[in-house]
Every structure is written in structure tokens, then in C-alpha cells.
Structure 1
């Protein structure tokens, strides 16, 4: 097996996870929002240094078999309203309500997506459109400030007629060619408003994503990557840039964490596993029940309901870089974040807002001289000043007491979100195991678990880059779906058409369809949630809502080691640190370096496991042991 590289580009940090089959190295670099290619290359450079002992990006890429990548670029473009606005062509009479689209998206997002009034066109009963009216409509759309057009008609035939006219009047080889998308070509959805909204969102993200991803692929190619860069998508699979739609990148980073969560649910036999990913900007909470994810048929992108299936994932504005302030006498954390630039006040990069990271530093949990492996020094004095100014003085607390109050509020709010997700899945906290990852997840894991009523926590040894790690469980795949035809002969024809598309696209990926696992499924939508049933030759998909074909080619994955343990052996401490706990007590507690811990070892809390990238606080009343997979297992003591 060649080298495998996974990269997760988050809002605050870009994480890299690399294995050569014998060892795993990882790195974190600050995300550079002004140029995402920079942090992409910086991460590869740092990872090559960890792997080879010197920076050699070209060597790393030459020896890489597969590079899988997820990016927050699309997510941020929607949240920050920084995509490319589109012009919209609709059926005459639908200009005002666009098929009732206001029921699916809030007004502010829709205004950002489509800033100018849609233009209507008359469609004949046979799907035909008049040439003169077509010319007038297109000229009107081109007169707006938008540079892309979405053809959003009720009739697929009418959209094809418009496509033919566009290609005839504005051929692709001319400088005046019009970038356009047909809503029916992008997704098959009988709901006109939902299909149109999905097409608009995709076009809104397309230019920025195309520019950046092809730039990243160019950087890889110039440094000798032998295979195309693979983009990890929000459906849990990967594909090359040229075979990926922009909207499929939305939320792909958190989906990497979900793939890792499913793998860990099987590894540890957890029937209810709650993933808590505490990053710099958000805390993402998900639930894996019976080793499977809950997938919504019409997932939301920001406030918009789309045609894309998206797993159940709750994102709350709580993260290490979340701004902390006092509002109406109460501590408020987020949703605004300072990201990595300027970052928390303790980063010393010009930020003056108080953040959760500053609170962790004042509590003694973070080592100011060894943050991110020593790549970034933290300034306790700046953290103290920020917390005193923004929290302490408004509440008449010392900076130290303010920091502890902030952490207590964070744990309570995150714990409440965890309980809500478990309840929505129809289970109880006592049944659940908490999987804590992300930069700050392990630090606050036992406090969040306590607040949620959970007695067992798993902290992956790669928790700091767990979403990047989780990407490594994806295969090279494409999935296609259409509304289920009502007649058996039409079902067979539709299936054959989807198989033809699968064969073509997998060939484009450099893989023969004969090397793939190809499944046909009947897809049922029950209370908005997907349920698939495999359809084999000789059987019938029954009354399914959709016909689905999926072609999947396995890629090499990271190895997991099954947990086998007996009596826990005492771990030898590597030092001690004075920690301030939320109850006001201050204690000198044992500190353990994760690289010095062996499977089967453990200790009772309070304790701190602290390394270059993993910091896990084991609160009083909890204990930990190291699993066979080198993960930390935290359990509440009876």
C-alpha cells in the first residue's frame, strides 16, 4: 500500500492525517481563508516533515496512493453569503413565488442567492419555447450583475429545449458563452421548489469551489501526485474534482467525523454512540444508533431545504474560538467566532475578545508553551485581560472565576445538545457512549458527559484530526436516484439508464465497473428519513419512493485494533500541573504524556493526559484506561 493522505479543511484549522501503512502522523495548520490553497500546502509540508524528518512536499505527494480532501469552503460561503449570485429563468407566472420556494428558505439567504427578480418564459404543452421570447429572456438575465444562470422550469423537456438554444446561440467556444445549469439535470426531485433551490445553491457555490479545488489539484499535480485529488463529499464517499458537484462539498468535514464515528461504534460495540466534535467555531453533535446514521431525505443547507440526503447532525455555535460575552447578566458563548485569525486573545495576533480557549488556558488545562506542539505560544496575560474585561467585570468576578464560569456554561450547553440528540433518536443517555474529538472535545469530555448523564467516554488517539481520519473510511463511489416509476418495464429502463451513468462515471474515475460493487436499492422516505432496501434480480422494489443505483470501489483504509482488556495497570505519571476545577477547587494533578501510555494502562482522576495535540482532562469522579487501539476510555466511577 502506498501512502494515504487525508485533509480536512476546517474554519479555524486545517487537519492532515497521513499513514504509510506502518505509522500514522498528523498535523494541524491555521486555515488561511484569504487563500485556502495556502493552508492546504502548509498542511502537506508539515505532514511531510513529521513523516520524513524534513519538509519534502514533492516526495510526499509522489509516494501518495490516494489523497482525500474535504473543505469547509462551501459551508463558509453559504454562512457568510460570499458565493456567486445567480440569475433565474422560471415558468411564466412563477416569477414572484418561484413555485412556493419561500417555504423552504429564509428571505435573507434567498436574496443573497438570487438578488434580481427571476425572469419568466412561456412553455408550450410539448415543452417548446419561442425563439423570440427566449432571446428576450436571456438578454434580460444577462443584463443583471450575475454571471451564472439556472434554468428552473417545471418541465425537463422545456429545460432541454432552452439548453439546445443556449448552445446554439452562445456556443461554448465563444468568450460570451453563458455558464448555465439545468435543475432537472442536477437532481431528480418531483418537488419543483426544492429542486430549483438545490440547483441555485449549487450554482452559487460552483465558481468559488471550482477555482479553489482545481487550484489545489494543480498544486498536487505539479508536485507529482500520481492520481487525481479526491474530494470527500457529504454523502460519505469520495470522487475526483471533475466528478463532484459543488453542493456535495457542503458539510463534508463533519461528515468525515461521522464516518469515523460509525467505524468506532462497530469497533467498541456501542449501540448508541454520540459524537461530539468541538472545533474552533462550532460543536457538531451526531448520534449513531445500531452502527448506522440517520439520514434525512431532504437535508438542510443553512436555512434551505434541499433535494440532497444529509445525515442528522446538529451544529451549535460553541467552539474553542467562540467569542464570550455577558448579555443581560448571563454568559453567552458564540455564535460569533474569531477563527484562527486574529484568534483568541491568548494567540497574541491582535484579538481582544475573550474565548473558550482563553478560559481553558486560565484554568490551567492548556500548556501555554506547548499549544499545537509548541508551534504557537499562548499568552496567559492577554487571556486574563480579555476574560476580566468581557466577563469578569460585568459579573463582578475575578478573571479566574470568570474562566471557570465560562467552561461550566459551555459544558452545560453542549450537554443539553447531546441529551436532545439522544432523545430525538428515541434512546436514553444511560445507554449512550460519548465519542469526544476535535481540538477541544477531549478537554471538556467528562464535563459534557456529566452534564448529559453519560457514564462512558471514548477519546480517539487521533481525536485532534478525527474528521480527517474518518475521511479514510470512504470509498470511491457514485450514487444515482430517480423517482420510482410506476410500471415494472419503466423501472427496468430507469435502472438500465442509471447503470449506464454509473459505468460512464466510474470509467471517468479510472475504474472499470467490473471492479466495483454495484447495488440497486428501493428507497423509502418515512417521516423524512431514508430507509433503503436492496433490490436483487428477481425481486421487486415494491412501493419505494425512489430507485437508487450505487457503484462503489473500495479504497485502502486506516487499520483499527479490536479492544481486549483485563485488569488495568497503573500508568506512570510524567509530571503534574495545577488545575482549577469548575467547583472552585484547585489541585495539583498527575499529567500523562499520551505517547508514553501503553494499552491496558490507566489511572483514576483527577488527571490530565496532555500531548502535542491531545489534551484530555479527567475530572474527579472519573478514571481512564488505554484501549488496544490506543484510545482513551473514560468511565465515571461508582
Structure 2
């Protein structure tokens, strides 16, 4: 097996996780929002140094069998309203409400995506359009200097008629060719508003994603990568750049953590596993029930429903870089974040806002000399100054008390998010285990679990890069679906059409059709949640609950994944501490606690809290009343002492 490289480009850090089949190495580099290609290359260079003992990105890429990449570029474009403006063609008379979309999407997002009023065109009963009216409508759209045109008519036949006219008068080989999207070709959704929004969002993201991802692939190929760069998507699968839909990159980073959570639910036999990814800007919470994710049929981008299925994930504006302040006499954390630049005050990069990371440093949970493996030295004095100014003085308390108060508020807020997610799945916290990952997840895990009423916590040994690790469980795949036809003949014809599309796209991925698996499923939508059943040939897909909503074809090819070691629990042997550190967890009083280096811990070893497990990229705080053991997979299993 060649080298497997997985990259998760987050808002604050870009994580790289690499395996050569015998060992796993990883790296974290600061995300460079001004140029995401830079942090992509920085991550590859850093991890090559750790793999080979010297920086050699070209060698790493030559040795790479698969490189899977999740980018925050699409998410950033939506959040910052920096996508490409879209021109919109709709049925005449619908320009004002565009089939009800005004009730679906935030006005600021819609204005950013479609800055000029939609243009209407009359459609005849047979789906045809007049040539003169077509020409006038297209010229009006082109006059607005939009980057792409979305054809979003109620009639699929009318959209095809427009497509034929566009290709006839603006053929693709000419410089004046018009980039356009047909809403019915992108998604088969009978809801006009969702279909329009999905098509507009995709076109809004497409130019920037195209430029960036092809640029990243070009950089990889220039340095020796012989395979296509694979883009990890929010549906949990990967595909080459040319076969990736721009909108499916939105929120793809958190989906990596979800894939890892599903794998860990199976590894540890957890019937209810709550995934908690505490990053620099947000805390993403998910729940895996009976080894499966809950997938919403109409996933949301911000508050707006789209036509694409997206797993249930709650994102809260709480992270290590979240700004802390006092409002009306109460501590408030987030949602504003200092991000990677300037970062928390303790980063000494010009930031003066107090953050959760500053609070963790003040209570002693973080080692100022070994943050990010020693690549970044933390400034305790700056952290104290920021926290005293923003929290201590308004509340008339010293720095240590302010820091501890901030952490307790964070724990309560995150704990509430966990309880809400567990409740939405119809389960109780006492029945759940918490999977804590992300840069700040493990250090806060036992306190958050206590606040949520959870008594078991799993901290992956690759928790700092767990979303990148989770990307490694994705396959090379494409999925297609249409509304379920009403006759057996219609089902067969639709299935044949979907299979043809699947074979075409898998061929385009450069893999042999003989290596691919093709599955047909009946998809039911109940309460907005998806449920799939195997398709049976020769009959309409009916169940006691009624006729299936959609016919689905999935084409996939397995890719190599990380190996996980099944847990063999035995008698816990006392671990030997590598040192000690003074922390302030109870009433601000200083307490010396043992510190264990994770690389020196063996499976089967453990200890009682208070304690710290602290390495170059992992800091796990075991609070009083908790203990830990090391699993066969080298993960930390923390349990509340009864």
C-alpha cells in the first residue's frame, strides 16, 4: 500500500494525517485565510518532515496513493458572502418571490448571491420559449456582469429548451460561452424554492472552488502526485475535483469527524455516541445511534433548507479562540472568534481579546512551552492581562478566578448542546458516551461531560486531527436519486438511467467498472429524516409506511483506510507519570498533579484524576472524580468514578 494523506482545512488550523500502513504521523499548521493553498502546502511540508526526518513534499507526493482533502473554502465563501454573483432566469411573473424562496433564505445571503433582480421569461404550455424573448432575457442577464447564470424554471422541458438555445448561440468552444446551470439537472426536487436555492448556492460557490481546487491539484501534480486529488464531501464520500459539486464541499470538514465517530461507535460498541469537535471557532456536536448517523433529507446551509441530504450536526459558536467578555454582569463566550489571526492574546500576535485558550493557559491546563509541539510559545502575561481586563475587572475577581469561571461557563454551554442533541435522538445522557476531539475537546471533555450528565468519555489518540483522520474512512463514490416513479416500468427506466450516469462518472474517476459496487435503494423520508431500504427488482417499492419517496443508485469503490485495534479490556495497571504541573481547578487553589506523556502510555495502563495527559498535540485534563485507562487502540477511555 502506498501512503494515504488526509487533509482537513479548518477555520483556525489545517490538519494533516498520514499513514504508510505501519505508522501514522500528523501535523497542524495555521490556516492562511488569505490564500488557502499556502496552508495546504505548509501542512504537506510539515508532515513530510515528520515522516522522513527532513522536509520533502515532492517525495511525499510521489509516494502517495491517495490524497483526500476537505476544504473550508466553500463554507468561508458563504459565511463571508464572498462567492461569485449569480444571474437568475425564472418563469415570467415569479421574479418577485422566485417560487417562494423569500420564505426560505436569509435576505443578506440571497442579496449576496443574486445582487440583481431575477429575469423572467414566458414559457409556453409545451415547454417552449420564444427566440426573441430568450435573446432579450439572456442579454439582460449578461449586462449585470454575473459570473454564472442559473436557469430555474418550473418546467424541466423549458429548462432543456433554454439549454439547447444557449449551446446553439453560445457554443462552449467560444470565448463568449456562457457558464450556466439547469436547476433540474443539478437536483431532482419537486419543491421549487429548495431547487432554486440549491442551484444558486452551487453556482455562487462554483467559480471560487474551481479556481482554488484546480490550483491545489496543479501544485500537487507539479510536485509529483500521480493520482487525482480527491475532494472529501459533506455526504461522507470523496471524488476527484472534476467530479465534485461545489455545494457538497460546504461543511465537509465536520463530516470527517462524523465518519470517524461512526467508526469509533463500532470499535467501542457504543449504542449512543456523541461526537464533540471543539475547534478554534466552533463546537460541532453530532450523535451516532446504533452505529448510524441521522441524515436530514433537506440539509441546511445556514438556516436555509437545500435539496441535498446532510447529516444532523449542531454547530455552536464556542471554541478555543472564542472571545470572552462580560455583558450585563454575566460572562459571555462567543460566537465572535479571533480565529487564526491574530489569535488568542497568549499567541502574542497582536490580539488583545480574552479567549478560552487564554483561560486554559492561566489555570495551568496548557503548557506554554509545548503548544503545537513547541512551534508556538504561549505568553502567560498577555493572557492574564487580557482576561483581567475583559473579565476580572468587570467582575472584581483575580485572573485565576476569572479563568476558572470562564471554563465553567463554557462547560455548561457545551453540556447543554450535548444534552439537546441526545434528547433529539430520543436518548438519555446516562446512556451515551462522549467522543471528544478537536484541538480543545479533550482538555475540556471531563468538565463538559459532567455538565451534560455523561459518565464515559473517549478521547482518540489522534484527537487533534480527528476530522482529517475520519476523512480516511471515505470511499470513492457518487450517489444519484430521482422521485420514485409511479409504475414498475417507470422504476426500471429510471434505474437504468441512474446506473448509466453512475458508470459514466466512475469511468471519469479513472477506476475500472469491475472494481465498483453499484447499489439500488428505496429512500423513505419521514419527519425530514432519510431511511434507506434495499431495492427489490420487479415490484414497486412499497412498505407498511407507504410508497418510497425516491429511487437511489450509489456507485462506489473502496479505498484503503486506517486500521483500528479492537479493545481488549483487562485489569488497569498504574501508569508512571513523566512529571507534574501546578493547576488551579478548585477555588483557584494551586494543586500539583501528575502529567503523563501519551507516547509513553501503554494499553491497559491508567490513573485517577486530577491529572493531565499532555503531548505535542494532545492535552487531556482528567478532573477530580474521573479516571482514565488506555485502550488497545491507544485511545484514552475516561470514566466518572461512582
Q: Determine if contact 2:429/2:452 at 8 Å carries over to the other structure.
A: yes
Structure 1 residue aligned with 2:564: 560
For residues 399 and 544 of structure 1, do their structure 2 counterparts lie closer, same or farther at Cα, with a shift above 3 Å needed?
same
The root-mean-square deviation of aligned C-alpha atoms, in Å, is: 0.9
> Residues of 2 paired with 1:147 and 1:572: CA distance?
62
Cα deviation for residue 338 of structure 1 reads 1.0
> Residues of 1 paired with 2:612 and 2:232: CA distance?
34
Q: Determine if contact 1:342/1:350 at 8 Å carries over to the other structure.
A: yes
Cα deviation 1:536-588 (Å, max 9, x = unaligned) = 33454221000000011000000000000211000000000000115433210
Q: Determine if contact 1:533/1:541 at 8 Å carries over to the other structure.
A: no
Cα deviation for residue 371 of structure 1 reads 0.3
Q: Determine if contact 2:119/2:140 at 8 Å carries over to the other structure.
A: yes
For residues 414 and 359 of structure 1, do their structure 2 counterparts lie closer, same or farther at Cα, with a shift above 3 Å needed?
same
> What aligned pairs does 1:100-499 form with structure 2 within 5 A after superposition?
100-499=100-499
Cα deviation 1:291-345 (Å, max 9, x = unaligned) = 0000000000112110000000000000011111111111111111111111111
> What aligned pairs does 1:32-51 form with structure 2 within 5 A after superposition?
32-51=32-51
> Residues of 1 paired with 2:89 and 2:639: CA distance?
58
Q: Which runs of 5+ in 1 are unaligned?
A: none
Structure 1 residue aligned with 2:625: 621
Cα deviation for residue 439 of structure 1 reads 0.1
> Residues of 1 paired with 2:258 and 2:536: CA distance?
29
> Residues of 1 paired with 2:77 and 2:44: CA distance?
24
Q: Determine if contact 1:442/1:614 at 8 Å carries over to the other structure.
A: yes
Structure 1 residue aligned with 2:53: 53
For residues 540 and 583 of structure 1, do their structure 2 counterparts lie closer, same or farther at Cα, with a shift above 3 Å needed?
farther
Q: Tell me which moved more, 369-378 or 398-407.
A: 398-407
Q: Determine if contact 2:572/2:605 at 8 Å carries over to the other structure.
A: yes
Count of residues paired in the alignment: 638
Cα deviation for residue 233 of structure 1 reads 0.5
> Residues of 2 paired with 1:232 and 1:536: CA distance?
31
| Mapped pair 1:602 → 2:606 | yes
> Residues of 2 paired with 1:52 and 1:314: CA distance?
39
Q: Determine if contact 2:401/2:587 at 8 Å carries over to the other structure.
A: no
Q: Secondary structure at the match of 2:5?
A: strand
> What aligned pairs does 1:519-538 form with structure 2 within 5 A after superposition?
519-538=519-538
> Residues of 2 paired with 1:146 and 1:327: CA distance?
43
Structure 1 residue aligned with 2:550: 546
Q: Secondary structure at the match of 2:465?
A: helix
Cα deviation for residue 412 of structure 1 reads 0.4
Structure 2 residue aligned with 1:587: 591
Q: Secondary structure at the match of 1:443?
A: helix
Output the TM-score relative to the length of structure 1.
0.99
> Residues of 1 paired with 2:174 and 2:349: CA distance?
47
> Residues of 1 paired with 2:539 and 2:161: CA distance?
37
> Residues of 2 paired with 1:583 and 1:173: CA distance?
72
Output the TM-score relative to the length of structure 2.
0.99
Structure 2 residue aligned with 1:27: 27
Structure 2 residue aligned with 1:633: 637
Q: Secondary structure at the match of 2:441?
A: coil
Q: Secondary structure at the match of 2:548?
A: coil
> Residues of 2 paired with 1:519 and 1:185: CA distance?
21
Cα deviation 1:484-534 (Å, max 9, x = unaligned) = 000110100000000000110000111222211111000000000000001
Cα deviation for residue 8 of structure 1 reads 0.2
> Residues of 2 paired with 1:470 and 1:523: CA distance?
26
Cα deviation for residue 4 of structure 1 reads 0.3
Q: Determine if contact 2:446/2:626 at 8 Å carries over to the other structure.
A: yes
Q: Secondary structure at the match of 1:444?
A: helix
Cα deviation 1:204-234 (Å, max 9, x = unaligned) = 1111111110011001111111110000000
> Residues of 2 paired with 1:297 and 1:537: CA distance?
24
Q: Determine if contact 1:503/1:512 at 8 Å carries over to the other structure.
A: no
Structure 2 residue aligned with 1:577: 581
> Residues of 2 paired with 1:381 and 1:77: CA distance?
36
> Residues of 2 paired with 1:427 and 1:582: CA distance?
32
> Residues of 2 paired with 1:540 and 1:126: CA distance?
30
Q: Secondary structure at the match of 2:593?
A: strand
